[in-house]
Structure 1
Amino acid sequence: MKEVDIMKTFLSALQWALFILAGSLIVPISVATSYGLNGAEAIAFVQRTLFVLGFAGLLQAIFGHKLPIQEGPAGLWWGIFSLYASLGVVLFGSSNETLKVLQYAFLLSGIICIILSVFGLIDKLVRYFTPTVIGTYLFLLVAQLSGSFLKGMFGLDGKHTEVQPNVFILSLIVILLSFFIMKLPIIGQYSVLFSIVCGWILFACFGLSNPITPVTDIIRFPSLFVFGMPRVEWNMVITVIFVTLLLLTNMLASIRVVQKVVSKYEENAASDRFKQAGIITGINQLLGGLFSAIGPVAISGSAGFIATTNIYKRLPFILGSSFIIVVSIFPKITSFFAAIPVAVGYAAIYPVFARHDWSRLSRIRNCPG
C-alpha cells in the first residue's frame, strides 16, 4: 500500500507541476518577446519566473495561507509589462531601463503589501467578500479567461494573426480527450497530465510542436538584478499602490474560493490566515523584483483543478512547486517544457475551468460579511 500511496502522491505532484507550467509559461515568453529578449535571454527570463513561482507557492503553502493554491504570473503585472514595452522606451530611454524601473515597481509593491498586511488592511478587506462579491469575481474571471483560452486554441499566439484551423481542430481533440480521461475510474484524476502528454505528441505528429531552444549550461541558478540595479521613478508610486491593492483583493478572492472547495474534502482543513498570506504575497513581489522576473499572485483556477482532480492535499502541491524550482535551475529542462505548444496547454486545462460549478461557489453562505 505504501508503494501505491507514494506513486499516487508522485503522479499528483507531477500533475500539479504540469498544471502550473501550462498556465505560467505563456506570460514570461510573451514578456520576453515584447522586450526583445531572444534565445538564451528569453529562456533565462522564463527560468527566473518559474523559480519565483515555485518558491512563492512553497512559501504560501507552508507559511502563508497553507492551501494548495497555484502562484502564477499576475495578469496585472503582465498588463504593466505590456503597457511599458513601448511607452517605457519613450519615458525611460530603452527597454533595459524600463525593466530596471519595473524591478523597482516589484520591490515597492512588496514593501507596500507587507505594510498593509501587518497593519490589518487584510482583515478589513475580507469583510467585503460576501457570496455576491465572490460570485461576481468568478464571473468576471471566467469572462476574462475565455478570451485567452479561445486565442490560444485558435492558434493566435502572437506569431499568427489569423485563426489556424489545424491548431483549432487538434485543440478540440485534446479537449475531448481530456473530458474522456476524466471519466476513467483509475486515471481520471490525472487528466491534465495525460492530456498535456498526449496533446503534445499529437501536435508533434502534425508538425505543430515548438522547436526546443538550444542552451549550453547544464545548471544555472537565478541571478539578482539581471537588468541592473533598480531605477527609482516616483511617478510609478500611484500605479504600484493601485496594482498592489488589486493583487491583495485577488489573493483574498482566490483563498476564499479554494477554501470552500477544500472544505468539501476536509472539515476545518484551512483556517483564515489572511494576514500571513498578505505578508507572503509581499515577500513574493520582492522576489519578483530581486530576481528580475514577474511578480506572482494566487490563481483562482486552482479551485477548478482541485474539484476536477480531487487532489486537495498540500503535500502533492508542495512537491509540485518543488519540481517547478528544480525545472527552473536546469536550462535544458526549462527549454524542453517551454516548447509545449500554447494551444496544448490551454486545451488541457480548459476542462478544469469548464467543469467546475462556479455558480455553486457563489451561493456559499458562510463567507464573512
Structure 2
Amino acid sequence: MSFRYNVNDKVPAKEMATSGLMWTICSAAFVIIFANVVAGLYQASPAETVWYAQKLLVITGAAVILQVMFGHKLPVVFGPSAILLTAAVAATDFAPAAFSTALVLCGVLGIVIAQTGLLGMLAKLFTPRVIGTVLTLIPLTLVPTFVSLIANPSQPGSLTGKVIFAFVLLIVIFAANHRLRGFWRATLMLWMLIFGTVAALVCFPGTMLSFGTQGVVPLTEGLLLSPLVAPGVIISVFICYVALIVNDVGSIRGVAAVAKSPVTEIKGQLRRGITITGIANILSGGAEVIGGVNYSISTGMIQDTKNASRYPLLIAGVVMIICAAIPQVIALISSIPTVVTGCLLIFIMTSQLSAALGILIDRTESTPFTFDNGVVIGFAIIIAATFSFLPEAAVAAIPAVIRPVLANGFVAGTIAVMVLEHVVFRERKGR
C-alpha cells in the first residue's frame, strides 16, 4: 500500500488539522471511557471524576507528544491500558495510593528493561501461544466490570431493560464498525458515545447529564503521591506491567510494519518507545490515575486514511491538554450513562479478543494444533475465569496482603500459562 504521507513527512496545515482531529477523537474517546470506569471503581464523586479525567487527558496528551518527538516516532495512539485496569480492579480493597505506588515502581522497571536490553529475555518468555492466551485473559477477567457497569443500580431503568439496551447498542456498534470507513470509522467511539447517550436518555427517563463540576477538587489532590507500599498490589501490577510491555512491543512493531518504517530502526524505536511508556506510567502513578500503553488500533487508522505521518498526532496531544482545562465539557462527558460506557468497553475488549484469536490461529497454521496446545490455553482460561468469579466470601477470606494476586484472574491465568508453557511442557516442546 502506498501512502499520501510517510512517517517523517511534514503535511499541509489543512491535513494536519483534519488528521489531528481524528487522532484526538480516537485517543480522547479511550481516555473518557477508562476515566469513567476507574473513577467508578473507587466510587468517586462527580467532581472527583472530572478531576480524574482532567489528569488522565493531560498525561495522555503529553505521552503522545513525547512518543512522537522522542519515543518510537511513529503514528501510534497512546491511551489507558486495559491490562492495568485488571490490576486496578483487583486492588480496590486498598487505598488508590497502593496501586499508584506500584505503578510508579513498574514504570521505573519498564525503563530499566528498555535500556538494558532485557526485552530479548521477555520475548523468549512470551511465545505466540503465551501472547495469544494473555490477550484472551484481559476481556475474560473484566467481565465482572462489564456487568457492574451495565447493571449499575444507581442509574434509572430496570435490569432487564438495561440488558436489552446494551445488547441492541452493541449490535449497532459492531454493525457501524463493519460498514463505516475512513473518518467515520476512525471516530466511531465518539459517535457511539453520543448516540448511546441520547438513546439512554430516551429509554431510561430520569437519566441526567451534568454541565457543572458539582464542587471543586483541590489542585494538589492526586498530584502529590503519598507512597503506600502493599506487596500484593505490587506483585499484581508487576505481572500486569510485564504483559503491558509485551503489548507495547507488539503495537510498535505492528505500526512500524504497516507504516513501512525501515526494519533497521525497530530496535531503537522499541527502546525509546518503551522508555517513554515507562515515563508516562511514572507520571500516571504520581497523579494517581491509570497507566497507559501504545494501541495497535493505530494500524487501522493509517490504512483507512493512507496518511502515515506522525506529526498530526502532535495536534492530538496538544488538543487533549487544552480540553483538560475545560472542566464543564469534561463534566458533561463524564456523566455519560454507565450502560453506554460498559458497551463501549465490551467493544474495545472484543477487538482485543479478536487480535488474540488471530495470533493463536496464525500459530496453528504454521504448526499443527496439538492436545498440549489446548491444555496450555484452556487451563489458563479456566484458572482465570475461576479466580475472576470467586464468591465475595471466598475473596474476603484471602489474606489482604496477597488478595490482589489471588483475586486477580488475569494474574492467575498469566502465571498458569507461563508455568505450563515453560515448565510443564518444556521438555516435550524441546522434543
TM-score interval, normalised by the smaller of the two chains: 0.7 to 0.9
Mapped contact 1:155–1:168 kept (Cα < 8 A)? no
- Equivalent residues of 1:68, 1:302 under 8 A apart: yes
CA distance in 2, matches of 1:269, 1:211: 54
Residue 40 of structure 1 and its aligned partner are, at CA, apart by 0.1
Cα distance in 2 for residues equivalent to 1:203 and 1:99: 29
- Counterpart of 2:312 in structure 1: which amino acid? P
Comparing 202-211 with 98-107, greater Cα deviation is found at: 202-211
The percentage of aligned residue pairs carrying the same residue is 21
* Matching of residue 117 in structure 1 with residue 111 in structure 2: no
Matching residue's letter, 2:329: I
User: In structure 2, what residue type is equivalent to 1:65?
Assistant: H
- Cα distance change, pair 42–202 in 1 and its aligned pair in 2 (3 A): closer
Partner of 2:43: 36
C-alpha spacing 1:261/1:351, structure 2 compared with 1 (3 Å): farther
Structure 1 residue 193 corresponds to structure 2 residue 157: no
Call closer, same or farther: CA 1:22–1:261 in 2, change over 3 Å: same
1:18 corresponds to:
25
Change (3 A) 1:51 1:205: same
Q: Which amino acid aligns with 1:113?
A: G
Structure 1 residue runs of 4 or more that deviate by more than 6 Å after TM superposition: 146-149, 217-222, 347-357
Matched, 1:281 2:280: no
**Which of 76, 83, 86 lines up with 2:90 in the alignment?**
83
Query: Larger C-alpha radius of gyration, 1 or 2?
Result: 2
2:37 and 2:341 in contact (8 A); partners too: no
- Name the CA shift for 1:241/1:200 in 2 (closer, same or farther; >3 Å): closer
| Alpha carbons 1:196, 1:348 under 8 Å: kept | no
**Which one of 51, 64, 69 corresponds to residue 71 of structure 2?**
64
Q: Which residue of 1 aligns with 2:247?
A: 250
TM-superposed CA distance for 1:143, in Å, is 7.5
Partner of 1:105: 102
Distance 1:347 1:99, change over 3 A: closer
The equivalences for 1:233-244 within 5 A come to 233-234=230-231, 236-244=233-241
Q: Does 1:334 align with 2:330?
A: yes
Q: Aligned partner of 1:164: which letter?
A: V
Separation in 1, partners of 2:200, 2:213: 28
Tell me how far apart the structure 2 counterparts of residues 219 and 174 of structure 1 sit (CA, whole Å): 35
Question: Secondary structure at 2:273's aligned position in 1?
Answer: helix
**2:53 counterpart of 1:55:** no
Q: In the alignment, what sits opposite 1:157?
A: 150
Q: Give deviations 1:234-287, integer Å, cap 9, x for gaps.
A: 555444443332222221122122222222xx6669643222122212211110
Tell me the number of residue pairs that the alignment of Structure 1 and Structure 2 aligns: 341
1:109 & 1:355 partners in 2: Cα distance? Answer: 28
User: What is the CA-CA distance between 1:288 and the residue it aligns to?
Assistant: 0.8
User: 1:189 touches 1:310 (CA, 8 Å); kept in 2?
Assistant: no
Please report how far the alpha carbon of residue 126 of structure 1 lies from its aligned counterpart in structure 2 after TM superposition: 4.7
Report the residue type matching 1:115 in the other structure: V
In structure 1, the gaps of 5 or more residues are 89-97, 183-187
Aligned-pair CA distance for 1:349: 7.1
307-316 vs 266-275, which deviates more? Answer: 266-275
Residue identity in the other structure for 2:18 = L
Amino acid aligned to 1:281: T
Partner secondary structure for residue 314 of structure 1:
coil
1:147, 1:105 → 2: CA distance? Answer: 20
Contact in 2 for aligned 1:71/1:299 (Cα 8 Å): yes
Q: Is the 8 A contact 1:178 1:195 kept in 2?
A: no
- With over 3 angstroms needed to count, the CA separation of the structure-2 counterparts of 1:101 and 1:260, relative to structure 1, is same
The whole-number CA distance in structure 2 between the counterparts of 1:351 and 1:106 is 26
Which residue of the other structure, out of 320, 326, 333, is the alignment partner of 1:324?
320
Distance 1:246 1:236, change over 3 A: same
Against the structure 1 CA distance between its residues 345 and 119, is the aligned structure 2 distance closer, same or farther, given a 3 Å change threshold? same
**TM-score normalised per structure 2:** 0.65
Greater mean deviation of Cα atoms: 232-241 or 48-57:
232-241
How does the TM-score come out when normalised to structure 1?
0.74
Matches within 5 A, 1:123-272: 123-126=120-123, 133=127, 137=131, 141=135, 144-145=138-139, 157-159=150-152, 162=160, 164-182=163-181, 188-193=182-187, 196-197=190-191, 200-201=194-195, 203-204=197-198, 207=201, 211-216=208-213, 223=220, 225-226=222-223, 229-234=226-231, 236-263=233-260, 271-272=266-267
Change in 2 beyond 3 A, CA 1:66/1:362: farther
Query: Cα RMSD (Å) of the superposition?
Result: 4.2
SS of the residue 1:300 aligns to: coil
Q: Relative to structure 1, is the Cα distance of residues 321 and 361 closer, same or farther in structure 2, using a 3 angstrom cutoff?
A: farther
Q: Deviations over 1:283-306 (max 9, x none)?
A: 111101221211112222333343
Greater shift, 346-355 or 248-257, is seen at 346-355
Runs (5+) with no aligned partner, structure 2: 1-10, 154-158, 367-431
